[in-house]
Amino acid sequence: MKQFIAFIKKEFYHILRDKRTMLILIGMPVVQIILFGFAISTEVRNVQTAVLINSANTDIQRIVDQLDASEYFNVKYVVHSPTEIEDLFAKNKIELAVAFADDLNRQRFDSEQIQIIADATDPNLAVTRGAYANGVLSKALAAMGQSLSAGKIIVSSKLLYNPQMKSAYNFVPGVMGLILMLICAMMTSISIVREKETGTMEILLVSPMNPLAVILSKAVPYFVLSVVNLTTILLLSVYVLDVPIAGSLFSLLAVSLLFIFVSLALGLLISCITHTQVAALLASAMVLMIPTIILSGIIFPIESMPAILQWISCAIPARWYVSLVRQLMIEGVPLSYVWKEVCVLLFMAVILIGITSKIFKNRLE
The answer on 309 and 216 residing in a single domain is yes
Q: Residue 157: inside a domain, yes or no?
A: no
State the chain's maximal CA–CA distance in angstroms.
90
Distance CA 96, CA 16 (A): 54
Looking at the fold, whether 197 and 327 belong to one and the same domain comes out as yes
Q: Which residue, 358, 169, 182, 155, is CA-closest to 259?
A: 182
| Domain contains 155 | no
| Higher pLDDT among residues 43 and 215, named by residue | 215
CA atoms of 259 and 268, how far apart (whole Å): 14
Are 221 and 261 within one domain? yes
Do 63 and 131 have their domain in common? yes
If you average pLDDT over every residue of the chain, what do you get? 76
Local confidence band at 11 (pLDDT 50, 70, 90 cut-offs): low
Range of the domain at 25: 2-40+166-359
Q: What is the value of pTM for the model shown?
A: 0.67
Q: For 105-126, what is the mean pLDDT?
A: 62
Strand 96-100 relative to strand 47-52, pairing = parallel
Asked, for residue 319, whether it belongs to a domain, the answer is yes
Of 151, 128, 139, 167, nearest to 47 (Cα)? 128
Clarify whether residues 63 and 22 are in a common domain: no
CATH code, domain with 70? 3.40.1710.10
Q: Domain for residue 109, yes or no?
A: yes
pLDDT score of 34? 67
Q: How far, in Å, are 55, 104, 105 from residue 108 at the CA level? A: 13, 9, 10
| Residue 331 belongs to a domain | yes
User: 91 or 269, which is more confident?
Assistant: 269
Please count the structural domains in the chain.
2
Question: Which tens digit of pLDDT belongs to each residue from 138-175?
Answer: 787 777 665 444 443 343 344 557 766 677 777 788 88
- For residue 158, being part of any structural domain is answered with no
The average pLDDT across 210-229 equals 78
Kindly state whether residue 153 falls inside one of the protein's structural domains: no
Q: Are residues 30 and 62 in the same domain?
A: no
Higher pLDDT, residue 109 or 319: 319
User: Over the Cα atoms of the chain, what is R_g?
Assistant: 27
Q: CB-based contacts of 266: which residues, under 8 Å, 6+ apart?
A: 181, 184, 185, 288, 317, 352
pLDDT of residue 31: 66
Domain assignment of residue 207, yes or no: yes
- pLDDT for the residue numbered 152: 36
Judge if 126 and 181 occupy the same domain. no
- Within this chain, do residues 134 and 81 fall inside the same structural domain, yes or no? yes
Looking at the fold, whether 30 and 174 belong to one and the same domain comes out as yes
CA distance 138 to 147: 9
Q: Is residue 288 over pLDDT 90?
A: no
